[in-house]
Amino acid sequence: MSSKEQDSLDEKLNRKEAHRIIQFLGGRTSLFVLFSILLIGLIILVYSNVAFIFYPIKVFFSNVVLPIILAAIAYYLLRPILRALERLRIPRIWGIFIIFIGLVGLITLLAVLVFPFLRIQFTNLVDEFPTYFKQMLIEIDRFMRSSLFATYYEGFNININQILESGLGNVGKMIADAVGGIASGVTSFISALTGFVLSIVTVPFILFYLLKDGEKLPKMILKMLPPRLRDDAEVILKDADHQISAYIQGQILVAICIGIMVSIGFLIIGMKYALLLGALAMFTSVVPYLGPLIAITPAVIIAIVTSPFMLVKLAIVWTIVQLIDGKFISPQIMGKSLRIHPITIIFVLLTAGSLFGVPGVILGIPGYALLKVLFSHLFALLKLRYNKYEPDEKMHYEQLKE
């Protein structure tokens, strides 16, 4: 075959492949692709010029999202209890009232017994933390001047006393500026606090209706869809429900186990503020990778100031807790329900944190899990569509997979 014939054959194959891609996207000619691009550009242009119209919608969602998320988390935590009560032949509405009474009792017990003690420990830690931090810098400076790196360290001409004095002065200036900022922005602060309180107050009402009618919600959504889409939508909703339920229930149980183990371990080695540090480890453990780093930082500072041996004991306790969690607790409770690569988790946390701050860090992983479920099912449907336009059965996705 000559080179011209080969070039002609390649050109025909390319045109055929391009036509197949256009059919795969739902069109018949290249004008379809051009029209789609122009339509997308027009939508972006119009939205950029009339974005102010959507501001009320943005305000509405910003006020509604927080209570809905909190109520949804509580719903997935309490739904197994409600189902267990129903298996005992207790009517759903009475089961909901029993759950609410139990929640009120639990919150009252925590408010009377646990929260005051943690508040005292937190206040003391905040008062003493500048002293701990200053003493830690002094200990590090002393260690570096007597270590093998003393020559290199002294070459930097670091004066720790001067740094501490200037740092304390800057802290005083920052406090003064913060007080002035609070005084000038007290109106916005009160407004934000009022919105947060109202959001928290609405959570029990949303939770009540979720527990009462939450099982009916997927069926209501399916009824609003065309009949041809209902089977696929039902699979997506069930998979998404399973992912959210497994993540929330598993993550809360893992966090409680970590908090208990850290508190017991710190009490055994005689660490100050053991219960407060255990509670901090419990709350921050919901953030993968970054949470343990945040939790251990104040513990390391306190251990360095206390004694070098306390730092060794802290390292032992923390290593044991992480090993137990990584080898026994998390695999048994969480399993592999999310199936997310660690590198993906890190990128998701960084991106969600940059876009949405602390809520993004906390909700980034379950949000990614939901998107993964949605796009995996959509990709499966697109593969079926591609098979429809692929004349060679040997090139179908099912055949290639085998």
Task: Convert the pLDDT of each residue in 40-83 to its tens digit.
Answer: 888 878 777 776 676 777 776 667 777 888 888 889 889 989 98
- Which is more confidently placed, 379 or 386? 379
Rounded to the nearest 10°, the torsion over CA 9, 12, 14, 16 is: -140
Top-confidence residue, 40 or 146? 40
pLDDT at residue 398, as a whole number: 55
pTM of the model: 0.67
% of the chain residues with pLDDT over 90: 4
> What own/partner pairs with CB < 8 Å and gap ≥ 24 does 273-280 have?
273/121, 273/124, 273/125, 273/302, 275/117, 275/118, 275/121, 276/118, 276/121, 276/122, 276/125, 279/118
pLDDT at 390 over 90: no
> What pLDDT, on the 0 to 100 scale, is given for residue 159?
67
**pLDDT average, residue stretch 157-173:** 60
What residue type is 235 in one-letter code?
Answer: V
pLDDT in tens, 86-98: 888 889 899 999 9
More confident residue, 89 or 177: 89
Mean pLDDT of 272-281: 88
Cα distances from 31 to residues 34, 39, 338, 388, in angstroms, run: 5, 12, 41, 21
Q: What is the mean pLDDT of residues 148-155?
A: 70
Q: Between vectors from CA 24 to CA 5 and to CA 9, what angle results, nearest 5°?
A: 0
SS3 226: coil
Q: What is the pLDDT of residue 401?
A: 47
What integer pLDDT is reported at residue 216 of this predicted model?
83
Which residues are CB-contacts of 230 (< 8 A; sequence separation ≥ 6)? 222
228 against 109, higher pLDDT: 109
The whole-angstrom separation of Cα 153 and Cα 140 is 11
Average pLDDT over residues 5-13: 53
Average pLDDT on 390-399 reads 58
Contact by Cβ (8 Å): 340, 365: yes
